[in-house]
């Protein structure tokens, strides 16, 4: 699973590291949501996409745009416990 989100008008794809995913508990979707909350600025709109979605065509990649869909989620603040675990003082 991956995240696709809007980064100032440019669609970005975030692919989590398998080693980090293995350290988290919960379902795959819960793990991806945790990563979104950790790595995306609070309030960022994103969607979780399957690994099977083909993103290999790079010929028109700069023209990608993010369009919100029915599965859109919004990143949230991490808990104080999670901030301490990642040596973060505040959410992005």
- pLDDT given for residue 92 in this prediction: 61
pTM of the predicted model as reported, rounded to 2 decimal places = 0.72
Q: In which band, very low, low, confident or very high, does the pLDDT at 27 lie, cut at 50, 70 and 90?
A: very high
Q: In which band, very low, low, confident or very high, does the pLDDT at 32 lie, cut at 50, 70 and 90?
A: very high
Is 6:45 a contact under the CB 8 Å cutoff?
yes
Structure tokens at 73: 């989620």
Q: Could you report the per-residue pLDDT of 37-56, keeping only the tens digit for each?
A: 988 888 888 888 888 877 77
Angle at the Cα of 91 (from 2 to 3), degrees rounded to 5? Answer: 10
> In degrees rounded to 5, what are phi and psi of residue 48?
-95, 125
């Amino acid at each position: 699973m991956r995240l696709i989100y809007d980064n100032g008008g440019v669609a970005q794809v975030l692919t989590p590291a398998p080693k980090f995913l293995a350290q988290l508990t919960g379902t795959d979707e819960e793990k991806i949501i945790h990563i979104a909350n950790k790595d995306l600025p609070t309030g960022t709109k994103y969607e979780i996409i399957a690994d099977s979605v083909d993103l290999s065509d790079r010929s028109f990649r700069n023209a990608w745009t993010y369009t919100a869909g029915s599965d859109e989620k919004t990143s949230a603040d991490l808990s104080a416990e999670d901030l301490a675990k990642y040596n973060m003082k505040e959410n992005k």
